[in-house]
A and B are shown apart, each in its own frame.
Chain A
Amino acid sequence: MDRRMVTITVNGREVTAPAGGRLLDVLRGLGLDIPTLCHDDRLTPYGGCRLCVVERKDGRGGMVPACSTPVQRGMVVETRTPAVVAARQNNLQLLLLDHRMECPVCERSGDCRLQELVYLYGTPEERLPFERAERPRDESSPVIVRDPEKCILCGKCVRLCDEVQGVAEIGLVGRGLDAAVTTLLGRPLDCEFCGQCVNACPVGALIARPFATEVPAWLRERRTTVCSWCSCGCELEAELYEGRIVRVTARPGSEPNDGMLCVKGWLGWDVLESPERLTRPLVRREGRLVEASWEEALGAAAAGLARAMETGREAAVLATPRLLIEDALLLRRLMEGVQGTARTGIGPEAGLEALASGVAPVFGQPASTATLEDVDAADMVLVLRGDPGRTHPLVKNVLVRRTRQRGLPFALAAAFTAGLERHAAPFLHLRPGTETALLAFLGRALDLEGRLDRTVEGFGAWRESVERCTAEWAAGVTGVPEATLARLAEALSAARKVSLVLVTGRGIPGNEAAAARAAACLSVALGEGSGLLVLPEKSNLVGCLRTGLARDRAADVLEAALAGRVGWLYLVGQDPAGAWPRSMPGREALESAEFVVVQDAFLTETARAADVVLPAAILIEREGTGIGPEGTLRTYHRIVAPPAGVLQDGVIVRELARLAGVRLPGPEIVAAETAALAGARGGPVRLAALEVTVAEPPGEGFLLDPSPQVFHSGSTTTHSARLTGLSPGIAVRMAPADAEAAGLGNGDAVRLVTDGREVLLRARIDRRVRPGTLLVPWRNREDAASRLVGEDGVWISVQLRRS
């Protein structure tokens, strides 16, 4: 919003400032150090701590808080008068009255805003005759310790939890000296453990147990990098001591996350120090995997490759899309150098099909056309397939902020959610896998409204393909009432700029490519200003696609292996035997391949069956480049060294290339090629006819929700004791009503049966689970959802039996 500029006087100097803007921003913009404790640029102004007071000399107001005073024409403001200083001192003294001062041993010493301000301003000499109230520490949470005796009631934690995280687990309760931040009824914290509250606490009232350290702030080294858990790519700041991470935070203002993290980005880094990490290469000798030197292991891998070439078989690689661009480029070059026809692919990864075969035919490239900023600013947003709070927490934060702080709505259409539906308007509780039908209906409805751009190429064929998708039909397929469908169509029709967001994640039911194509078509037809943001699961899927590494589909590689044509199979961060859907014959393919090399950080199911296992660096142990969902380059810094004996993927690839006699380009050339991959690249845009298939309604039973869970869902998180400690574990979570009806209590053993497959699990009652749904983590284990899920995209209904 453009604001009229007006003239105000600050400390005797005339300056121009936007009328109605925040006075605090103007003063800070002038380089003045205005102290605040309760203010956070990410939150609506609060005016609680009264430290930002300044003196108005234009006869209106006297002392005013700069954080919640709008700029007005002709304002005269003084920021350094004795009265201002005295007011700040008094306010600090009042805060200190009820603050347990143990600065020398406080965990936040040296990094405490209150300490800093008391140092800067001092407090009046006179002591006030009040006793500090005694309040017990809350140690009930495994993660966050709350110390009300240090709390200054700035309310930042409460407001972040509500306005940004959308959870509102904690609140300010009581009044005056009795006021305290607490949960309802003082229950143990039962939240998403995003750490937003802890990171924003200006004092030592909130401490993360895993980071409770005896290392003072000034001895910690701060390093910044990009989080590589999911594709959001948040910037995080790790604090290190003796080379180990002792604390993780994010700075407000950081790109793209503005100081926000999720539980994984905050706490999940103990995976790096997992005792299960592979630290030495393994080679198979007399049928057993034994430790070997890098020289021996690489030699064995190269010898296996040479044998495959001699016998005229194929070489193939399947890599993880967490691979950084430089490493992926080298890997592709290695394979090309080994064999012109070598198969290269990335695994059956969430988001791969959505981009490669879903949106690419429409957009002319496998990429998104909307950015997170577009989503933030759009008039209306439609989120499809899942709750980003489970898969892409930063996107959830952006959605919550736009609606809670600015009143901009978003719609959520998904079968399985985790709380975001409370903020969605409207929320469409879809039957699993019916997003395409919803989008087809929306296409027809919006065109009937005259909202769509009919000049787009292919419009006619697309329009014809959605002709039968009436509201009545869509309601029947999706299970969403016609009135709700109409409400969504109306909201989209009225919006000038629409952002569609397509969530992907392992286990989310439905055909992601079909949904992506339908969403891409709709976003194009909505015209200028509208777009689609596809959220892949893994951090560098878009980057890996652009390197050309994903030339072959994983299924084709498996097929070639099963046919006995693959003589050398190189699996980089892929675990076909343990983590892939059971509909894909990963284990069988491994057995059929002549020689298998696995490069991973852990001894996965696949690694156990390999001929050579090479230990690789992961996540923030790596240096290189990635590309986010929006097409922007991200630079990953190695902020902790991998365990001794562990190498980064690219280094391993170079060594293999040397032994295989393949010349790889030098670092400068790789860097130039990497840089060239950035940016959005448009192709000819063309709508395509939709194939709207309607899934068979499931039989009687519960809906199985195997989609990702925020605490941990996959293979790597399994090795984080902190994350697995927070997650409900391998259990089937169900609504209280369903448990009651089945006569089940927490911890009871149950059998889940579907289509001849069966798992035995413990029951866990969880009010977050919708009645009729059973939530089962995927996990790469025999006793979890991966065992129940047949083919991806199948709407699974399961029977619940007492065991």
Chain B
Amino acid sequence: MSTVSSELSEQGERAFFGACVQGGGEPIDPEAYRIVDRWIERNPGGRERLIPLLHAVQEHLGYLPFPVQEYVAERLGLSPIEVYGVVSFYHFFTTTPRGRYQLKVCMGTACFVNNAQTICDVVGDLLGIGVGEVTEDRLFSLEQVRCIGACGLAPAMMVNDEVHGHLTPNAIRKLVRRLKAAARKEREARKGEADGENEQ
């Protein structure tokens, strides 16, 4: 499965379905489709599997790219617009890419009075993104959230499912460095694996 660049349809001519206008037609990690395949294999059933499957995909990719939604539709015997209807209905699902590390700065009362806004600004400046945005390398995305229930640790931030508290600008710099290094390692490990596969 590959994305095909969009062709502008002339008046009265049929639009070309394969065109997946997705963030300028950027390619989707083929792993995304394998996630769908594997999940469907493990979970027999019918169209009622849509929501759990979307959850599984978003858990892995951080978002639901349209080509993957179309693939989900095909695999479950639904139409792509039905899938998108569901995706757009639930606030939890998102079609915009999130980072590998989703940073959620807590803006709850306790954090707020402990300079949460400054923490948020520092993170944003450090990564060069604003709230609701994602870094170009897709490593980090930044969001503001309501109280995460870690008031004792204020100011706090979540990195994916992990809470980081008592944040200072310095602590944030260290954290970001650590995350970048971890991501680099991960990438290299995956590359080695892929090379190994190719050699076989």
Contacts and interface: CB of A to CB of B under 8 A. Distances in A.
Q: Do A and B bind?
A: yes
A728 B77 contact: no
Contacts of B85: 171-173
A422 B12 contact: no
B12 A726 contact: yes
Interface string B77-116: 1111110110011010000000000000000000000000
26 contacts: A167-B79, A168-B82, A169-B79, A170-B81, A171-B79, A171-B85, A172-B85, A173-B88, A175-B88, A175-B89, A175-B91, A183-B81, A184-B80, A185-B21, A185-B66, A185-B84, A187-B21, A725-B12, A736-B4, A736-B16, A746-B7, A765-B7, A765-B16, A767-B17, A767-B18, A768-B17
Nearest to B13: A728
Contact of B66 (A168, A171, A173, A184): A184
B84 A173 contact: yes
A305 B84 CA distance: 67
Nearest to A166: B79
B12 A169 contact: no
B15 A187 contact: yes
Nearest to B90: A175
Nearest to B21: A185
B43 interface: no
A169 B81 contact: yes
Interface string A6-37: 00000000000000000000000000000000
Contacts of B4: 736
Nearest 4 A/B pairs, CB to CB: A168-B79, A171-B81, A767-B17, A171-B85
Scoring B9, B85, B88 by chain A CB atoms within 10 A of each residue's CB, the highest score goes to B85
A173 B81 CA distance: 8
B11 interface: yes
B38 interface: no
Interface in A157-192: 162, 167-175, 182-185, 187-188, 190
A188 B15 contact: yes
A142 interface: yes
Nearest to A724: B12
Given A168-B79, A171-B79, A422-B77, A184 B84 contact: yes
Contacts of A725: 12
Contacts of A174: 88-89
Given A171-B85, A174-B88, A766 B80 contact: no
A740 to B, nearest CB: 8
B45 to A, nearest CB: 15
Contacts of A184: 66, 70, 80-81, 84
A171 B15 contact: no
A170 B17 CA distance: 14
Interface string B56-70: 000000000010001
B82 A767 contact: no
Nearest to A768: B17
Contacts of A746: 7, 16
B88 A766 contact: no
A172 B89 CA distance: 9
Given A162-B82, A168-B81, A190 B12 contact: no
Contacts of A183: 81
A476 to B, nearest CB: 29
Nearest to A726: B12
Contacts of A767: 16-18
B174 interface: no
Given A169-B81, A171-B82, A767-B18, A188 B88 contact: no
A183 B75 CA distance: 20
A369 to B, nearest CB: 32
B14 interface: yes
Interface in B9-35: 9, 11-19, 21
B16 A162 contact: no
Contacts of B79: 162, 167-169, 171
Nearest to A736: B18
Contacts of A170: 81
A190 B78 CA distance: 17
A1 to B, nearest CB: 24
A190 B17 contact: yes
A412 B12 CA distance: 31
Nearest to A745: B7
A162 B82 CA distance: 9
Contacts of B77: 422
A767 B84 CA distance: 20
B16 A766 contact: yes
A188 B89 CA distance: 22
B71 to A, nearest CB: 13
Interface in A128-181: 142, 162, 167-175
Contacts of B81: 168-171, 173, 182-184
B129 to A, nearest CB: 25
A172 B81 CA distance: 8
Scoring A168, A185, A725 by chain B CB atoms within 10 A of each residue's CB, the highest score goes to A185
A182 B80 CA distance: 12
A469 to B, nearest CB: 31
Nearest to A711: B14
A165 to B, nearest CB: 11
A773 to B, nearest CB: 16
A767 B18 CA distance: 6
B136 to A, nearest CB: 23
A746 B8 CA distance: 11
Contacts of B70: 184
A173 B79 CA distance: 13
A747 to B, nearest CB: 10
Nearest to B85: A171
Nearest to B79: A168
Contacts of A169: 79, 81
B9 A188 contact: yes
Contacts of B80: 184
A726 B14 CA distance: 8
Contacts of B84: 171, 173, 184-185
Interface in A273-303: none
A417 to B, nearest CB: 15
Scoring A142, A188, A726 by chain B CB atoms within 10 A of each residue's CB, the highest score goes to A188
A712 B8 CA distance: 24
A514 B70 CA distance: 40
Nearest to A727: B14
B89 A190 contact: no
B24 to A, nearest CB: 13
A190 B66 contact: no
Given A175-B88, A188-B15, A766-B14, 15 more contacts: A142-B11, A142-B12, A162-B79, A168-B82, A171-B79, A173-B85, A174-B89, A175-B91, A184-B66, A184-B84, A187-B19, A422-B77, A725-B12, A736-B18, A768-B17
A726 B84 CA distance: 26
Contacts of A190: 14-15, 17
Contacts of A765: 7, 16, 18
Nearest to A188: B15
Scoring B11, B77, B88 by chain A CB atoms within 10 A of each residue's CB, the highest score goes to B88
Contacts of B14: 190, 728, 766
A707 B23 CA distance: 38
A728 B9 CA distance: 12
Nearest to B74: A422
A523 B80 CA distance: 38
A90 B57 CA distance: 41
A135 B15 CA distance: 23
Interface in B182-198: none
Nearest to A172: B85
A722 to B, nearest CB: 10
Contacts of A182: 81
B26 to A, nearest CB: 15
Interface in A104-120: none
Scoring A142, A173, A725 by chain B CB atoms within 10 A of each residue's CB, the highest score goes to A173
B151 to A, nearest CB: 31
A182 B21 CA distance: 16
Contacts of A172: 85
